[in-house]
Structures are given as structure tokens and as C-alpha cells.
Amino acid sequence: MLRFYHDREFSFDEVTVCYVDRGALDDTSCVSGRQIKTLGPGFMEIESEVRTNSIPYHRLIRILYRGIPVWERQEGTTGQNRV
């Protein structure tokens, strides 16, 4: 995700990040790069109409760029897998 954020070759607005969101439909939510305000050391902060939420990286499920998966967590792994 850092490469998409810092590399001028990419538009971070075209990134979509999906994460575990207990209580949401299918316990999953997705946000666009436009909604991500901070990439911290162990979390990202996303902004909604109501508030800013901190999402720990261990909750990430997949990252897409222009709708194409570039990373997806494999069930039962630590999240180091790539598509």
C-alpha cells in the first residue's frame, strides 16, 4: 500500500482496501484511497461522514488498484501473500 501512496506513477485515489468490519454486511467493508487519511505504523485511519476510524493492518483482507486485486490475504496466513 505504501508504494501506491508514495509512488507518483500511481493514483492513491484508485486504491480500494477491504477489511474485516464486524457488524457490517458479511463482516467486510471497503474504502477508497481517497478516504484513507493516515498510514500509521500499525494501522490506517479512514475518514467517513461521521468520524475517523483506525483500522489495524491485521484486519486487511484485500487491496485493489483500479479494480484489480494486487494483494489478498489467504485464509489462515499472516497476510504476507500476494496475488
User: Which of 80 and 7 is assigned the larger pLDDT?
Assistant: 7
Q: Domain limits of the chain?
A: 2-72
Q: How many CB atoms lie within 10 A of CB 6?
A: 11
30-71 pLDDT, tens digit each: 999 999 999 999 999 999 889 999 999 999 999 999 999 999
Which residue type does 72 have? E
Q: How many angstroms separate the CA atoms of 8 and 39, rounded?
A: 17
CATH number of the 2-72 domain = 2.30.30
pLDDT band at 77 (very low <50, low <70, confident <90, very high): low
15-31 pLDDT, tens digit each: 999 999 998 899 999 99
Supply the pTM of this predicted model.
Answer: 0.85
User: Which of 12 and 74 is assigned the larger pLDDT?
Assistant: 12
The answer to whether the CB of 83 falls within 8 A of the CB of 72 is: yes
Q: How many CB atoms lie within 10 A of CB 74?
A: 11
Q: How far is CA 14 from CA 44, 61, 77, in A?
A: 16, 17, 26
